[in-house]
Amino acid sequence: MNYASRPRATGLRAEASLTDPLWVTYRWMTLGLALTGLVALAVSSSPTALELLLGNRIVFYGLLFAQLGLVFGFNAAARRASTPVVALMFFLYAALTGITFSTLFLVYTSASIGGVFFITAGAFAGLSAVGLFTKADLGAIGRFAIFALVGLIVASVVNVFLQSSALQWLVSVVGVLIFGALTAYDTQKLKQLFAAGDAHANMPLVGALTLYLDFVNMFLFMLQLFGGRRRD
């Protein structure tokens, strides 16, 4: 299915249509986040699962490499594979993220994780609305955010060795700003892509993964800033 062949209404009605590919993208993303949360809760409540995850470095790092492999192979697969296969890859990535996120419950209180999640959801919704409705071109902001992301990764790696709390705080603040900017930019880019009719059939799933990554990374950096740490 090519979205160029879809009849498109005009104005806000088109943007609010439940069959619009951008809103299909949001639904996929929401399902992915829901799966991540459910898996994280399930694993965190199982001592056996946590022991397997944390007691064996091969398992933990194997999960991380599997996530990286899925992300890097996702776009290429999306152009060739069927929608059920691509959806399976997306949900597999979301489930693997949930497994690794289960360790957050060992560091932060459940209440603070829930609170930061809803704060992130509100920020994401507002920033995504900016990308959806603004008339300004966010291309320059998006390109700067991508460039800044490289510096953020370098600073994070450096701080693994320095263990500086001040640098970690700065990295977290900048991380929130970068992924906030990317949320607005990616939303606008997807909107323009769908409007131009250039999207392939699985583009809503590609967009869902993009926005999902924006959300979870913004959530992680916000959690570092505002999350309440466990005392036991």
Q: What would the pLDDT profile of 31-49 be if each residue is shown by its tens digit?
A: 999 999 999 999 999 999 9
Residue 7 in domain: no
The per-residue pLDDT for 76 is 85
Tell me what percent of the residues of the chain surpass a pLDDT of 70. 91
Which residues of the chain, if any, have pLDDT below 50?
A: 1-16
The per-residue pLDDT for 19 is 56
Residue 54 in domain: yes
Q: Model confidence over 172-212: pLDDT tens digits?
A: 999 999 999 999 999 999 999 998 877 788 999 999 999 99
- Rounded to the nearest 10°, the torsion over CA 101, 107, 108, 114 is 10
Residue 206 in domain: yes
* Contacts of 16 by beta carbon, 8 Å cutoff, 6+ apart: 23
Run of H or E including 218 = helix 203-226
- Domain ranges, residue 21: 17-226
* Contacts of 166 by beta carbon, 8 Å cutoff, 6+ apart: none
Q: How many domains does the chain have?
A: 1
Residue 1 in domain: no
The per-residue pLDDT for 153 is 94
The per-residue pLDDT for 232 is 66
The per-residue pLDDT for 4 is 42
Residue 175 in domain: yes
Taking the CB of residue 126, how many other CB atoms lie within 10 A of it? 12
Residue 232 in domain: no
Residue 11 in domain: no
